[in-house]
Amino acid sequence: MPASTPLRYRVAMPEPSSHEFHVTLQVPALRERPVLDLVFPAWTPGSYMVRDFSRHIYDLQTTSNGRAIPSERLDKLRWRVVSDGRPVQVSYRVFAFEQSVRTSFLDQDRAFLSGTSLFFLVPGEESRPCLLDLEPPAGWRMSTALPAVRGTRHRFRAAGYDALVDGPVEMGLQSMYAFRQGGTRFEVTIAGSTNADMARLLADLRRMVDAAGALFGGFPFDRYLFIIHALPERGGGLEHACSCTLDIAGMAFEDDKAYQRFNELAAHEFFHAWNVKRIRDQVLGPFDYTAENYTRLLWFHEGFTEYMQAIILLRAGLLTPEQYLKDLGEDWAKYAGRPGRNVTPLSELSFEAWIKQYKPADNYVNRAVSYYDKGKWAGLLLDLVLRQATQGRRGLPQVFRRLWQSHGRRGRSITAADIRAAAESVGSRSLGAYFSRFIDGTAELPVPTWLRRAGLFVQARSPAQAEGEDRVKTRRQRGWAGLSFAAGEAAAVKNVIPDSPAWQAGLTFRDEIVAVNDHQVDASTVAKRLADCGPGQTVTVAFFRQEILRTTSLRLVRTPERKWSFAIDPAASPTRRRVRQGWLRGF
């Protein structure tokens, strides 16, 4: 059978309330392959965690020309079919009741199809064209970036398996919008209830995509789709080559900050259309869907994207420099207080994402930090280093533009050496120390120092100082035990910072504190009772550990925590002003 003969997938949903998709795969006759293997993906690109989607498969049947043929399950992902080279039809059901950007979902109101959680692949045939036929309930609308087959109803095509599963589908009674920007058609579909001002949301999206397109000199697609799920709680986002999926809190648009959060999420996932989908590590496509695809570049693909989302919004006029600096100070305070930020190199955090970030142990916060979070600050630092080297004229945006021209648009994958070479070319200086210390090493990121060099006024205050004239609050903010607590009613210890008073007193993860200085406490009062005492005072703590009541004493110390603020320094030198102006204008 010619390689151009497509694999055919059909998805029906005759009983949406069962949350089960009815899926059929038709494999053409492969004369040279009397035994056919089928593989179900274990993960989805863009979300670096093995999810074992095959656990949701039921009632698998294999036939050829209408007759049942034998199949054998080899392991959790693989089935073997004795086809004798004949065409094979595989029918099965998939239970889909998890609402996320990574997994398929079906109920009586809507359906979301995420290909890796629905479709078998045929090893050796990943490049064979695919056709997808959809059979939605009557009256449902349909949105996908997959190209439609002319003259058909609800049939779509893909160049191969990677393209098929990279084209999620939304079906139901969703609202649909569209606009054109730079010759490209942008479509927006929103499923669920929202109190957002849609005119504002669409206007913001238009400005954001225009700014991103300006950075790269245009769009690498003729059509792009934003799939938005308006849910009770905010979720995440997932990038695709010509679309993205955004899970938002639909009824949370109560202030300007809510629109900013939406714009940040949309800018992040849209920027991935370049950084990760086209400017990418070699292992990030074509994919091995059966196991972890290890990369040491997630600090670049995700962390630098986390940084660039704000730069895009600055350029688009959707974020003011003052608001950006205010947010930056608040975020730096959170990052600088994370005890594990300088334990593991960024490149190693990227490599270990599969087993640590998404399956964190109790001590994760003490031994590691998210490559999103640290990668963002490493991106900011590199931008400022480059701005200083070029008098503010060039920075990290120009690094991305250069990598797009040299690699992304040509289909060439990148390496860490390519990133360094592009940055050194932009800055006309060696950056070996930056990459060895901050990407492959564990040195503290000197962000406050470089912000001062960028013409900012930088201030660090203790929580007590931040309380201002309230002397009672000031006094109660001084003591520190080194404890954090899990969400819930009980005062269950989430983390104990190494070498803190609580650590030295023997407290550990999951201890349930029930009394402080003989006063009963729960999650709402434990911090208040600890704050009754100040630095140098001893506190007696009663707690349960594995149902055994214990007591210990700890001596509070002065808090090392700091609140940071960054603001424009009007007295900055001309050189520093040029760096600041180049940085905050966006590109």
Whether the pLDDT of residue 427 is over 70: the answer is yes
Say if 293 falls within a structural domain.
Answer: no
Query: What is the torsion angle, in degrees rounded to the nearest 10, for the CA atoms of residue 362, residue 367, residue 372 and residue 374?
Result: 150
Say if 582 falls within a structural domain.
Answer: no
The average pLDDT across 550-565 equals 97
Q: Which one-letter DSSP state was computed for residue 28? A: P
CATH number at residue 489: 2.30.42.10
Indicate if the pLDDT at residue 467 is higher than 70: no
Tell me which residue range forms the domain holding 128: 7-171
**Percent over 90 (pLDDT), the chain:** 95
CB atoms within 10 A of CB 560: 12
DSSP codes joined into one string, 359-413: S--TTHHHH---HHHHHHHHHHHHHHHHHHHTTTS--HHHHHHHHHHHTGGGT--
pLDDT in tens, 353-392: 999 999 999 999 999 999 999 999 999 999 999 999 999 9
* Residue at token pair 């630098």: 304
Cis preceding-peptide flag for 123 (omega within 30 of 0): no
CA distance 266 to 264: 6
Residue 190 makes CB contacts below 8 A (sequence gap 6+) with 174, 175, 176, 177, 198, 228, 230
Could you give the CA distance from residue 178 to residue 57 in angstroms, rounded to a whole number?
A: 36
On whether both 364 and 512 belong to a single domain, the answer is no
Average pLDDT over residues 96-112: 97
Q: Answer whether residue 190 is part of any domain.
A: yes
Asked whether 51 and 102 are in contact (CB, 8 A), the reply is: yes
**DSSP helix/strand/coil, 576:** helix
* pLDDT at residue 238 in the model: 98
- Residue 282 maps to a domain: no
pLDDT on residue 463: 82
Residue 445 reports pLDDT greater than 70 = yes
* 115 token code pair: 């290909």
Q: Which of residues 148, 171, 194 is at a domain's end?
A: 171
Report which of 265, 234, 268 is spatially closest to residue 249, judged by C-alpha positions: 234
Count of C-beta atoms within a 10 Å radius of residue 421:
17
- Whether residue 206 sits in one domain with residue 98: no
pLDDT for 157: 98
In a domain, 464, yes or no: no
pLDDT tens profile 183-226: 999 999 999 999 999 999 999 999 999 999 999 999 999 999 99
End of a domain among 121, 148, 171?
Answer: 171
* C-alpha dist (Å) from residue 349 to 51, 239, 265, 352, 464: 20, 21, 22, 5, 34
Q: Are residues 496 and 448 in the same domain?
A: no
Is there a single domain that holds both residue 162 and residue 183? no
**pLDDT for position 473:** 87
Distance CA 392, CA 58 (A): 59
3-state secondary structure of 191: strand
Residue 375 backbone zone (phi > 0: left; psi -120 to 50: alpha; other: beta): alpha
Q: Which two tokens stand for residue 457?
A: 């006024």
**In a 10 Å sphere around its CB, with 0-12 CB exposed, 13-18 middle and 19+ buried, how is residue 254 labelled?**
exposed
Rounded Cα–Cα distance for residues 453 and 62 (Å): 67
- Whether 572 is in a domain gets the answer no
* Whether the Cβ atoms of residue 533 and residue 556 lie closer than 8 Å to each other: yes
Please indicate, yes or no, if residue 146 is contained in any of the structural domains. yes
- Kindly tell me if the per-residue pLDDT of 346 is higher than 70: yes
Task: Please give the structure tokens belonging to residue 95.
Answer: 């239970």
Q: What does the block give as tokens for 303? A: 């962390």
Contact predicate 188/228, CB 8 Å = yes
Backbone angles phi, psi at 305, to 5 degrees: -65, -40
Looking at the structure, do residues 317 and 419 belong to the same domain, yes or no? yes
Q: Which two tokens stand for residue 205?
A: 């999206």
- Amino acid found at 10: R
Domain boundary among 398, 433, 456: 456
Cis amide linkage into residue 286, ω under 30° from 0: yes
Per the prediction, the chain carries an average pLDDT of: 96
pTM here? 0.96
Residues 378 and 307 in one domain: yes
- Smallest CA-to-CA distance from 389 within 431, 419, 448, 437 is with 431
C-beta separation of 534 from 479 below 8 A: yes
Same domain, 493 and 430: no
Domain presence at residue 368:
yes
Output the pLDDT for position 466.
Answer: 64
Structure tokens, 413: 């994958």
Do 231 and 259 belong to one domain?
A: yes
What is the pLDDT confidence band of residue 296, given thresholds at 50, 70 and 90? very high
> And the tokens for 322?
């003052």
Which of these ranges, 3-7, 22-26, 123-127, 162-166, has the smallest mean pLDDT?
Answer: 3-7
What are φ and ψ of residue 177, in 5° steps? -135, 165
Statement to judge: residues 260 and 203 lie in one domain: yes
Which SS3 state, helix, strand or coil, does residue 200 take? Answer: helix
Residue 5, pLDDT above cutoff 70 = yes
The most distant pair of C-alpha atoms in the chain lies apart, rounded to whole Å, by 84
Confidence of residue 4 (pLDDT cuts 50, 70, 90): confident
CATH at residue 107? 2.60.40.3650
In angstroms, the CA 451 to CA 576 distance is: 10
CATH of the domain at 239: 1.10.390.10
Together in a domain, 306 and 401: yes
One domain for residues 427 and 476 = no
Q: Indicate if the pLDDT at residue 435 is higher than 80.
A: yes
Average of pLDDT values for 260-275? 98
Query: Do 163 and 233 belong together in one domain?
Result: no
Q: What does the pLDDT average to over 407-428?
A: 98
Number of domains in the chain: 4
End-to-end C-alpha distance for the chain, whole angstroms: 52
